[in-house]
Amino acid sequence: MMEQNLKNHSKYVTGYHVVLTFLILAGTIGAAINFYHSLNNANHYNSALLLILFFIAIILFWYVRQFPLKAQDRVIRAEENMRYFSITGKLLPVQLRKSQIIALRFAGDDEFVTLVEKAIKENLTAKDIKALIKNWRADYYRM
C-alpha cells in the first residue's frame, strides 16, 4: 500500500464517487426530461414514478455515505480521546471541534499534544492542522 501523506490521504472509491454519481445524475436528468415531455399527453404517471424513484436514489446515495461517516467520526473521537488520555492522563479539551479531532488523528504521538494545544490556541482549521503535521500517522481504514 502506498505511504499516506497530506497530498494523498483522501480516499475515493471510483465505483461510488464517479460511476454511481454519474449514473444517478444522468438518470435523474433523463427522468426529468421524460416527465416534462410526458406532460403533453395523458400518460405521465410512469414518468412521475420514475422521477420520484431517482429522487429517492439521490437521497439514498447521500445517506449511504453520511451514516457510516458519522459512525467513523464517533470512533475517531473516542480513539483520539483515549490516545490523549494515555499520553497526558487527561481527556481531550472540549474546545476542540470534531473536524480538528479528525485532522489530529494523523499526527504522531510525539507532536499530538502540542498540536492539540496549538489547534485550540490558534483556532486552526483541519487543513491547517494537517499541514503542520511532520510525522504523518496513516489512517487506511477511513472511507
Q: How confident is the model at residue 138 (pLDDT cuts 50, 70, 90)?
A: confident
Helix (H, G, I), strand (E, B) or coil at 138: coil
**Integer Cα distance of 34 and 45 in angstroms:** 11
The pTM of this model reads 0.76
**Integer Cα distance of 54 and 24 in angstroms:** 7
Q: pLDDT of 17-49, one tens digit each? A: 899 999 999 999 999 999 999 988 877 899 999
**Integer Cα distance of 108 and 137 in angstroms:** 5
Percent of the chain whose predicted confidence (pLDDT) is above 90: 75
User: How many other C-beta atoms lie within 10 A of the C-beta of residue 129?
Assistant: 23
